[in-house]
Structure 1
Amino acid sequence: MNPQALSPRAKRRRRLQQRQTVIYGLLIAGLAVAAAFAYLVFSGTVPSPWTRPITMPEKIETSETMECPPEGAYSVAFGSVKANVFNSSNQQGIAVSVAGTLREYGVTVAEVGNWPKFLRTDGQLQAGKAGIVAAYTLQQVFPTMQVMIDDREDASVDVILGHTYGEQSLIKSGDFPAGVEIVPPAECVPEEEPTEDELNDGGEDLVPEDEETEAPSDGEEDAEA
């Protein structure tokens, strides 16, 4: 049939059919390529471009008691605090949101992810002895969270968001200057003083300087001689 003899309506229909043929052909070709690639990845012939190790918080020993801040401690500038934010609840996206807020305050946020355990509270601030002051500094932003101590050696703080975490758990506006005296919470436990056995670690006797006795000099006799 002579194309010029086609009516305008028939011409439009023919162009539509040609366009649909091209679109469906591209779709089928794309699906075929995707299926072939998926098969190669599944069979191990081609490594997956999305494969990456799943990172979890490092396993550390945590105390079950709330640690008191050092006596006479003062809050530090948020710019000097390094934190990690972990989600311990079934709420989606809160760790990313909280990390963004902390960055606005100047806190350096290193890791954002999920916590392996389920906390039924608003959450907790977890740090080692070197990071206790930083943890209490962040408590200005998270007033309902307790500060717990663990055995890490650096000054980082883990902000762990619990099951009951909500908008009321985070203060998003306010003035948080450095140099504010940290008042120990009533429920915190002071750090225990080392015992004499711990001080003598290894069996060596540690004698205070003011209790040291001088060895008798030449010519002196012992009192019991």
Structure 2
Amino acid sequence: MTDVDRARALRRRHVHERQAVIFGVLLAGLAVAGLGATAVFTGSVDLPFIARGFSTPPPEPEPEAGYCPPAGALPVAYGQVTVNVLNGTSQAGLAGATASGLTERGFAVASSTNAEDPYSGAARISFGLTNAAAAFTLAAHLEEVDMVPAAREDGVIDLTLGADYIALKPVEQVLLDPALPLVGAEGCRPLDEATPAAETPAPQG
């Protein structure tokens, strides 16, 4: 064998060795990838670089629609609805201004003062179950309101104004017909399922 033939043979051997190494690495990589994919698919291994934030978030819970008015209850004449207006914010004069607005609409305002505790919502109506029709009549004048049945028998309704409160609903948007029963929000819960909360007397001012 000449020197040229030996050089060619050596070069071919080097090429074959490189090809063998490359194919070996590729096959090993494919084998590792296959094993990893199988482990992830079966849940045996979690990929640390996949953040949970990229997964589909759980659906937001539907907000509760609150309680329904008593079945068949008609709106109560405004003059028969007695209200304490409480300011649950740091905005001075909010209770007084709202009380004046309710008085102009014919409601009987017993007092307007500051609430004992701040309230973060828009408005909250606390009422006794026997006075529910009057409470829902008042609620029709508010854009957003939480209805809170309370263990009270005095016939007075507490209206607490919160941080999200803006103003009474415009009169033309108050959809009350004295001849038609009060209607609750879609999905509301029957009032007889409510557990009245213990009532704290409204502060006097």
Normalized against structure 1, the TM-score is what? 0.52
1:4-48 Cα deviation digits (max 9, x unpaired)? xxxxxxxxxxxxxxxxxxxxxxxxxxxxxxxxxxxxxxxxxxxxx
Q: What does 1:160-175 align with in structure 2 at a 5 Å threshold?
A: 160-167=160-167, 170-174=168-172
User: Identity, % of aligned pairs?
Assistant: 31
Partner of 2:98: 98
- Detail structure 1 runs of 4+ shifted over 6 Å in the superposition: none
Mapping 1:1-225, distance limit 5 Å? 66-167=66-167, 170-174=168-172, 176-190=176-190, 191-192=192-193
Deviations along 1:61-102, whole A, 9 cap, x unmatched? xxxx94321111111111111111000011110100010011
Q: Root-mean-square deviation (CA), in Å? A: 2.3
Q: How many residues align?
A: 128
Letter matched to residue 83 of structure 1: V
Give the gaps of 5 or more residues in structure 1.
Answer: 1-64, 194-225
Distance in 2, Cα, partners of 1:83 & 1:102: 9
Specify the SS of the correspondent of 1:166.
coil
- Report the structure number with the largest CA radius of gyration: 2
Question: Aligned pair in 2 of structure 1 residues 88, 102: CA closer, same or farther (>3 Å)?
Answer: same
Q: How far apart, in 2, do the equivalents of 1:127 and 1:92 lie?
A: 25
1:144-187 Cα distance to aligned partner (Å, 9 max, x none): 112110000122211110011113xx124326543332112235
- Letter in structure 2 aligned against 1:111: S
Question: Taking CA–CA contacts closer than 8 Å with sequence separation of 6 or more, which of the two structures ends up with the larger relative contact order?
Answer: 2
Task: Give the match for residue 56 of structure 2.
Answer: none
**What letter is aligned with 2:101?**
T
Deviation string, structure 1 residues 101-160 (Cα, Å, up to 9, x no partner):
111111110011111122111111110112211111011111311211000012221111
